[in-house]
Structure 1
Amino acid sequence: MKGVEMSAFRGMGAFRLGWLVVGAALLVGGCSSNPDRVRDPRDPLEPYNRAVHRFNSDFDKAFLQPIAKGYRVITPEPVDRGITNFFNNLADLTSAANNALQFKMSRAGSDVGRIFINSTVGVLGFVDVATNVGLPSYKEDFGQTLGYWGLESGAYFVLPLLGPSSIRDTIGLAGDIFTDPLFNIEEDKVYWGLVGLRVVDRRADLLAASQILDDAAIDPYVFLRDAYLQRRLSLVHDGNPPPVEGQEDFWDAVDFSAEGKPGKPASRSGRL
């Protein structure tokens, strides 16, 4: 393994270990503070998750939202669209690998075709030619692959800075990291520059959705949790999830793909 990759893993490992220690303390404190409260069985870590959700929300409002709004103001719409297309083209590599692991060969072939067409005719992916010629984008990830092969979602789990997840999807992040083309970039400045641009671009794409969340939800934490879990269940089952008794379908009522700009493509994974 390359030196920069080992360095990245060590840094990520220390970061996650620190947050796990903090999270464990918050969890113990939260559980002891309100022992009689009835909790959603999908969310046994709610005290920890709410604490991290608050941290993420505060961080987002203080840093990410202002940066994303500034990016939206100074970036012309065609350039903004091209940047989103570029990163979506990179994500098709991960999608192709996961469709192959799920033995969905026609979908894997579609992903490979998208990569070839968009990387050549589409000028490194800045123009989404593949969609215009009828090749759909699936955006499968390793969390979905684990779910396809029968691994249950497990507890809802909010990741520091990264946001909503589950135990299964958190495990799947390791596979997503390995298949991310940016992970193989050796120059640190280039790597972190592209990662930062991807984060800001995706956050800018979600400005309209976050406004819907703020306006519509009495408890944004519960709304986001239920929407995330239902969305991920739908993705694992390719849009045909088994019925879950007593749960409404958020996605019939709310369109979280709204970008604030007509025709702007959105990621299907629900992650930043």
Structure 2
Amino acid sequence: MEWLADPQIWLALVTLTALEIVLGIDNIIFISIQAGKLPVHQQEKARIVGLGLAMFIRIALLFSLTWLMGLTTPIFSVLNNEISGRDIILISGGLFLLWKSTMEIHEKLEGEEGHSVSRAGATFAAVIVQILLLDIVFSLDSIITALGMANRLAVMVAAVVMAVGFMMLFSGKISAFVDRHPTVKMLALSFLLLIGVALIGDGFDMHIPKGYIYFAMAFSVMVEMLNLRLRRQGAPVKLHNPYVEEPATTTGAQDNI
């Protein structure tokens, strides 16, 4: 248990938890929209069940990927570098993060508004199934990010549980904060680019000390906090969102007077 006294472990936990929360905003938005299709008395239950499923899916993926990371027997060589199963996972995960973050940045800045809203039936079971399927997609970048930032499974699981618990309590306030400050979302996506490069480097045995990554993130966050204080009066940029609520329609005729 000596690792509990390592300050870098606690720094990794705090940083990873914060990043998991920001990266989970899209998941919160999707779950809220899907739950909004249900009767009012079922919406809160659907949100809690959806976020709970997201937590268990991420933990299961963490255990499976961490087990696969133990496959260190070389399979083939590339440019005199022996590539094992672990290296394949790291390189594939890094490439996925580069692709996902680039596509997300493009979608947020130039994408079509509301194009990914599901139009399936609004029964409770149907909504939960849709949330379950989308949780798997939303979880991939979160899990790969955890693998790139922390070396211990306990830290990764603790960060996921803390982030989901925080989102269950403050999902509305978190979404509102990111809506007011969209550059926070862009900053988190840029962190994914950084982590993706670090994962690819690890896969090819070019290790980047995690302290450098933490310092770069902390410095960027500090600069962004200063920017937010200076831009209090200005209107923020409106990011595009693939999951938006459809405008409410009024039905029925007005009573004749």
Name which one, 1 or 2, has greater alpha-carbon Rg.
Answer: 2
TM-score normalized by the length of structure 1:
0.34
Greater helix fraction, Structure 1 or Structure 2: 2
Q: Return the TM-score normalized by structure 2.
A: 0.35
Q: Which has the bigger relative contact order, CA under 8 A and spacing at least 6? A: 2
